[in-house]
Structure 1
């Protein structure tokens, strides 16, 4: 399990770096960047602990996670500041690609460890809860980050992410007693990581596509609907009162 903890910390680092990049992209100040980084890296585990009734949450009792995030943010910000004017488009793409890789590794590890956490708390007979625990551990932090940054959560609109976590959690739950705990952990984590990386590489997603552009028009004037269906007189009469 020691290797799992190492991989988990790698995932924490990747999630924290992703939070830093989003904070910079959306113009957050230093405190805001730290908040986004902490939420991205630890928000999933925090939500999982609240959901399972584990108090206080693990991130407040195992300080290695908080220290890891803090060091990551400081070092990454210093790196970006020092090489600010020297980073070209290709360099930035390489950095983001590296973060994407470790993010995928973290996704695979977190969905499995989240499932294990629920099982060790005595919920092993509840598959739905165990899978949900793995899912929220791996995706809720990123969703909180995106909500704070006022953008649509990436896990709900881009390449396969949450579905990969569900697959990993379900596979672990179904196989750990058959092939052994350690083998199941590594196998499921690798499968999730590969699914995520392939979906990014091949741009595989689950978008629901329609041909009617009116259904996708976010800026449509809703007053047109009232006018079209004959409510303009009703609106006029009541606006004079």
Structure 2
């Protein structure tokens, strides 16, 4: 598959995944339709906007090309419609599926947007600065979720649970280290998958950084 096509599909999937996680948080926090849509949009494009501002890319790419925002908007509307059609909301099976959907959608978006952030850094002339590339990848991955959580009145996940940001940092470093060694398509898949695996396993096995108490 051509790199541009893979990149487009990855960005599309990541946008949908993050938009779903934003709507789920909004529903969980008893927000109305507008609140759910705002959380979906901020989760999907917020990280990219923060990254662009820090890298000096103005106006942010999302504002120049609102395709991702449109995808997030449509995803939010469709998900809310499907959710409202579910009648047995309190069933144990549904709650189990609900939690898993939140985990997997958030983890997929995290992995995909981490490698996208690194690529944006490379494209804008920072290929020789690994610190900026890791920052760009991590911020793209966690930025939207951080904004989502703060808007929902919660402590952002990156500060409290399951080595959330650390998974992005590890994935970004590995992705950067293999970029010039193997085919870029494979390196993208490896980088995104690694972030996803670390994030999911840390949730399943309750792996956290130590806390001071």
Q: Structure 2 CA distance, aligned partners of 1:73 and 1:166?
A: 28
Residue 15 of structure 2 corresponds to: 12
Cα deviation code 1:152-201 (max 9, x no counterpart): 11121111211010011111222211224222211111111111111111
Secondary structure of 2:45's aligned partner? helix
Residue 68 of structure 2 corresponds to: 65
Q: Is the 8 A contact 1:4 1:109 kept in 2?
A: no
| TM-score of the superposed pair, with normalisation by structure 2 | 0.91
1:169 aligns with 2:167: no
Matched length: 210
Q: Is the 8 A contact 2:40 2:76 kept in 1?
A: yes
Residue 37 of structure 2 corresponds to: 34
Q: Structure 1 CA distance, aligned partners of 2:19 and 2:87?
A: 19
Secondary structure of 2:124's aligned partner? helix
Residue 78 of structure 1 corresponds to: 81
Residue 144 of structure 2 corresponds to: 141
Q: Structure 1 CA distance, aligned partners of 2:96 and 2:10?
A: 23
1:187 aligns with 2:164: no
Question: Matches of residues 74-113 of structure 1 in structure 2 within 5 Å?
Answer: 74-85=77-88, 88-113=91-116
Deviation at 1:86, TM superposition (A): 5.2
Which of the pair has more CA radius of gyration?
1
Deviation at 1:95, TM superposition (A): 3.1
| TM-score of the superposed pair, with normalisation by structure 1 | 0.81
Instruction: Tell me: CA distance 1:84–1:61, structure 2 relative to 1, closer, same or farther (3 Å).
Output: farther
Q: Is the 8 A contact 1:7 1:106 kept in 2?
A: no
Instruction: Tell me: CA distance 1:86–1:109, structure 2 relative to 1, closer, same or farther (3 Å).
Output: closer
Residue 209 of structure 2 corresponds to: 206
- Structure 2 unaligned runs (5+)? none
Q: Is the 8 A contact 1:111 1:168 kept in 2?
A: yes
Q: Structure 1 CA distance, aligned partners of 2:145 and 2:64?
A: 22
Residue 234 of structure 1 corresponds to: none
Q: Is the 8 A contact 2:44 2:69 kept in 1?
A: no
Query: CA RMSD of the aligned region, Å?
Result: 1.7
1:125 aligns with 2:133: no
Cα deviation code 1:94-114 (max 9, x no counterpart): 133133223222211111110
Deviation at 1:18, TM superposition (A): 1.4
The structure whose RCO (Cα within 8 Å, separation 6+) is larger is: 2
Q: Is the 8 A contact 1:172 1:184 kept in 2?
A: yes
